[in-house]
Amino acid sequence: MRHISDEQRRIRLGQRHRLAPSVRADTPVDIADSVVALHATDAATVFLSLGARLKEPGVDIVERALYEDVGLVRMLSMRRTVFAVSTGIAPYVDASTARAIAAKERATLLRHLEEDGQGLDERWLAEAETSVLAVLAQRGSATGVQLSADVPALKTKITIFRGTRQETVQGVATRVIRVLAAHGRIRRDRPRGSWTSSQFRWSAGEPWPPMPATQAQAELARRWLLAYGPATEADLKWWTGWTLGDVRKALIAVGAEEVRLDSGTGYTAPGDQEPEPESEPWAALLPGLDPSAMGWADRGFHLDSDHRAAIFDRAGNIGPSVWWNGQIVGGWAQRQDGEIVWRLLSDPGSEATAALEVEAARLSEWVGETRITPRFRTPLERELTA
C-alpha cells in the first residue's frame, strides 16, 4: 500500500478545504461542496466557516446563497445534526441519511402522541401538517410563533415519558415543524434578528427526488473521501452516523483504495493517492464546529491531544480554533467590545503570529458590530472572554 503521511494529510486539508489564501473561493456554494457539508447547529458557524474561505467574505453573500438564490439549504442529516449543503449534494444527503432520520423523527412523535392518551394519531398529525403548509402557502414564510397562532393544532400540549422521572409536558409545535423540515416539506428561511440568530422563519420546500440509499451512500462517501481522505472506516462512520456495515458497503461500491497512514490503514477515493505540492503558509481562525475540525473521529494528524481539553467541551464539540499550516495551535474568541483575541497552545513561530494578526483583522472587518458567542462554549473560549 502507498504511504500518505500526516504532513501530506495537512497539505491536503489546506488545499481541499480552501484554507490557504491561494485556493479561497468566490462563492459559498463552491466552499460547501469542497467540504461536503457545513455545520449549521449554531447559525453563526455557517457564516464564519464560509468567511474564512471566501476571497471576499461578508454577510450579504452568504445570506444571498441561503435565502435568495437558495443554493445552500439546511438539513437535519449526519449524526442527527443540522448541516448546510448545496442543492447539488442535498439529494444524496437526503437519500443516504436524512430520509431515515426523518422517518425516526415521525415515528417518535407518533409514539408520544399515542402514549399521551388524547386520541392524537397519524391522521391528526397529517391534518396539522396540511394546515401548516397551507399557512405557508398564504404567508410565504412564518416563524414558529406565527404558525402556532394560525394553526390551533400546534398549541396542543402532550405529556411524554408519563409515569417516569422524565415525565414532562411539551407543546407539539416544535416537534411537528421539525418533522416537516426533516422530510424536506418546509425549509429554514431568513431568521428574525441578525445572521447569528437561530429563530428561523419557515418556508415551503420541495422533497428531494428519491434514489436508492445505497447509491446515495456511495456518492456521499466518494465526495467525503475527496474532501477528507485519506481517512479511516471509523472516521467515515463517525462523520455520517451510518452503521459500520453501511460504511463498508459504500467504500466497496465507490472503489475506495487502501493506503497506509502514520496511524494505521486508511482509504482514498479511486486514483487519489498522488502527493500534492506544499502550498504557501496559511493561518486561519475557524469557528466552533467548523468542518475542518469536525471531519474525523481521529484528529491526531492535526491536533495535539494535549490541546483537546482547552478547545473542546465535554460533549466533544470543538470551539473556535486557531490553525497554522494544517494544525490546530490554539483557540480564539470575540470579547464584548468586539476585539478578536486568541491564545496559542504551542509556539508556531513569528511568521504564524504575524499571519494570525492579519486573519484576525480580516475577520473583525467583515463581522463588524456583530457580537458572536458560540453555542457550545469551551474552557479556552470562556477564559479569553472573561
Phi-psi map region of 105: left, alpha, beta (phi>0 left; psi -120 to 50 alpha): alpha
Q: What is the pLDDT of residue 323?
A: 98
Neighbours of 360 (CB within 10 A): 19
Domain range annotation of the chain: 90-204
The set of residues, in sequence order, having a beta carbon less than 8 Å from that of 382 and lying 6+ positions away, is: none
Quick one: how far is CA 172 from the chain centroid? 26
Q: What is the pLDDT of residue 222?
A: 98
In the predicted model, is pLDDT for residue 40 greater than 90? yes
Q: Are 137 and 282 in contact (CB under 8 A)?
A: no
User: Cell triple for residue 135?
Assistant: 399557512
Residue positions counted in the chain: 386
pLDDT at 161: 87
Task: Provide mean pLDDT across the span 316-321.
Answer: 96
User: Nearest Cα to 228, choosing from 21, 49, 35?
Assistant: 35
pLDDT digit string, tens, across residues 231-251? 999 999 999 999 999 999 999
Asked if 261 and 233 count as a contact pair (C-beta separation under 8 A), the reply is: no
**Cell numbers found for residue 368:** 463588524
Burial 55-66 (b: 16+ CB within 10 A, else e): eebbbebbbbbb
User: Both ends of the chain: CA-CA distance in Å?
Assistant: 50
Instruction: Give me the amino acid identity at 25.
Output: A
Q: For the segment 150-187, what is each residue's pLDDT rounded down to a tens digit?
A: 999 999 999 998 888 888 999 999 999 999 999 999 99
**In the chain, pLDDT over 70 holds for what percent of residues?**
100
Mean pLDDT of 54-63: 98
301-309: long-range pairs with CB below 8 Å, 24+: 301/6, 301/9, 301/10, 301/261, 301/262, 301/263, 302/6, 302/9, 302/10, 302/13, 302/326, 302/327, 302/328, 303/327, 303/328, 304/328, 304/345, 304/346, 306/345, 307/345, 307/346, 309/379
Find out whether 86 and 77 touch, Cβ atoms under 8 Å: no
Mean pLDDT of the chain: 96
pLDDT for the residue numbered 162: 84
- Calculate the alpha carbon distances from 101 to 81, 86, 246, 326 in Å: 10, 19, 15, 33
Amino acid letter, residue 314: R
The pLDDT value recorded for residue 310 is 97
Which contiguous run of DSSP H or E holds residue 257? strand 257-261
Q: Cα torsion for 334, 340, 344, 348, to the nearest 10°?
A: 150
Per the CB < 8 A criterion, the answer to whether 124 and 153 are in contact is: yes
Element (H, E) at 12: helix 6-16
Query: How far is the C-alpha of 36 from the C-alpha of 292, rounded, in Å?
Result: 11
Quote the CA–CA distance of 356 and 351 in Å, as a whole number. Answer: 9
What separation in angstroms does the CA of 149 have from each of 53, 130, 346, 360? 41, 15, 54, 44
Q: Which three cell numbers stand for residue 137?
A: 402557502
CA distance 302 to 330: 12
What's residue 164's pLDDT? 87
Task: Quote the DSSP letter at residue 155.
Answer: G
